[in-house]
């Protein structure tokens, strides 16, 4: 029997977390588990071989060792399921997550992909709160919802705020292939870029409630990551700004406020405090919220 869902898990030296991620999938026979070992040197290969001997749902793929985007694309190509559900090796799912998303897709077969709320968790196990609460616009519009729903004006919503967590997404496999998968040449935010591309092609569904835990790692090269994020935001703006504004003009204003915030954080990291103040002010004026006001006040204090 062909699987309904192909779980896609790229893994590179993540053996400390991978067993918990795989265990969180449960024992659903409708699932195949595609783990892409992307050049691990921590014993992942041996653990996968042992696990696959016990669980025939597990298929092991050898990745090129060039990052999660190409690893995920390899799994998308190999997937036999109608849907691909993404689960990073250091994240976990809540019980029943796939059932809730499958029910939503069955009720609305026009949906191209769905996503859920998730919780940020530190390496030490500290709960840093749910994702949906972090985004003011999305929370204001949908924070009251408790039942799954189809997102109104999805491109505008997801362009304005990057609310989708990769480990919560379940997408139609044919649509992922038609979109070309993840853009491996993006410096960062390649998942956000793909969700936007999918939202142009089909409606998007949302399942409220915490359905996954996302592990927050301590940053490495912080300034370098900021530069990559800013560059990626510029690329995404060039690709989707006009179409997003066609759905809702305010999406551009919210996006540009976030872009200004990203540049302000980079300016702070490199010691340009006055520039950071001006950029945080621009973000606050474009999108007044508790978060942008707090960021601006903090920048003022640092500059003083």
- DSSP string of 152-168, one letter each residue: SSHHHHHHH-----GGG
Instruction: Compute CA distances 194 → 114, 149, 162, 177, 261, whole Å.
Output: 13, 21, 11, 11, 22
Q: CB atoms < 10 A from the CB of 260, how many?
A: 22
What lies within 8 Å, CB to CB, of 205 at 6+ separation is 101, 104, 105, 108, 111, 113, 114, 115, 148, 149, 150, 151
- pLDDT above 60 (res 48): yes
What is the pLDDT at residue 155?
A: 98
Residue 132 near residue 116 (C-beta atoms within 8 A):
no
Q: How confident is the model at residue 219 (pLDDT cuts 50, 70, 90)?
A: low
Strand partners, 130: 119
- pLDDT above 50 (res 221): no
CA distance 36 to 63: 6
Nearest to 13 by CA among 58, 71, 56, 92: 71
Strand partners, 58: 33
3-state secondary structure of 56: coil
- pLDDT above 90 (res 112): yes
- pLDDT above 70 (res 218): no
State the pairing for strand pair 127-130/83-86.
Answer: unpaired
CA distance 48 to 114: 28
Structural Rg of the chain based on CA atoms: 20
What is the pLDDT at residue 123?
A: 85
- pLDDT above 70 (res 220): no
Average pLDDT over residues 75-82: 98
CA distance 158 to 289: 18
CA distance 95 to 122: 20
Residue 225 near residue 134 (C-beta atoms within 8 A):
no
Strand partners, 207: 116
Helices (H), the chain: 18-24, 44-54, 68-78, 97-107, 136-142, 154-160, 173-179, 190-201, 222-247, 250-269, 273-286, 290-303
What is the distance between the terminal CA atoms of the chain, rounded to a whole angstrom?
66
The model's pTM is 0.94
Average pLDDT over residues 31-48: 96
* Mean pLDDT computed over every residue of the chain: 94
Residue with tokens 């912080």: 222
Instruction: Summarize pLDDT for 126-168 with one digit per residue, the tens.
Output: 888 999 999 999 999 999 999 999 999 999 999 999 999 999 9
Q: How confident is the model at residue 237 (pLDDT cuts 50, 70, 90)?
A: very high
Residue-range domains of the chain with CATH: 5-216 (3.90.550.10), 224-303 (no CATH)
3-state secondary structure of 176: helix
Q: How confident is the model at residue 304 (pLDDT cuts 50, 70, 90)?
A: confident
Share of the chain above pLDDT 90, in %: 89
* Tokens linked to 244: 């997003």
DSSP conformation class of 57: T
Average pLDDT over residues 163-181: 98
Q: CB atoms < 10 A from the CB of 49, how many?
A: 12
Phi and psi at 5, nearest 5°, equal -125, 130
CA distance 129 to 111: 28
What is the pLDDT at residue 205?
A: 98
């Amino acid at each position: 029997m062909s699987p309904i869902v192909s779980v896609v898990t790229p893994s590179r030296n993540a053996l400390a977390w991978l067993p918990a991620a795989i265990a969180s999938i449960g024992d659903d026979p409708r699932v195949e588990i595609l783990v892409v070992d992307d050049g691990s040197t921590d014993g992942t290969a041996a653990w996968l071989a042992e696990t696959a001997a016990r669980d025939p749902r597990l298929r092991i793929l050898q990745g090129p060792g060039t990052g999660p985007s190409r690893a995920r694309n390899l799994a998308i190509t190999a997937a036999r399921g109608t849907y691909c559900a993404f689960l990073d090796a250091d994240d976990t799912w809540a019980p029943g997550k796939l059932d809730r998303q499958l029910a939503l897709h069955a009720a609305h077969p026009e949906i191209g992909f769905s996503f859920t709320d998730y919780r940020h968790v530190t390496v030490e196990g500290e709960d840093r709160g749910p994702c949906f609460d972090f985004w003011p616009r999305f929370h204001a519009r949908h924070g009251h919802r408790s039942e799954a729903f189809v997102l109104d004006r999805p491109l505008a919503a997801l362009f304005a705020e990057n609310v989708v967590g990769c480990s919560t997404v379940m997408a139609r496999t044919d649509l992922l292939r038609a979109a070309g998968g993840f853009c491996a040449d993006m410096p960062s935010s390649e998942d956000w870029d793909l969700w936007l591309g999918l939202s142009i092609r089909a409606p998007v569904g949302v399942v409220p409630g915490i359905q996954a835990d996302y592990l927050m790692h301590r940053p490495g090269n912080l300034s370098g990551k900021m530069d990559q994020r800013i560059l990626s935001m510029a690329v995404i703006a060039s690709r989707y700004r006009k179409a997003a504004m066609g759905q809702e003009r305010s999406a551009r204003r919210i996006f540009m406020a976030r872009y200004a915030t990203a540049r302000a954080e980079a300016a702070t990291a490199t010691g340009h405090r006055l520039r950071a103040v001006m950029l945080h002010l621009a973000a606050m004026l474009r999108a007044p919220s508790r978060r942008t006001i707090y960021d601006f006040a903090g920048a003022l204090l640092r500059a003083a």
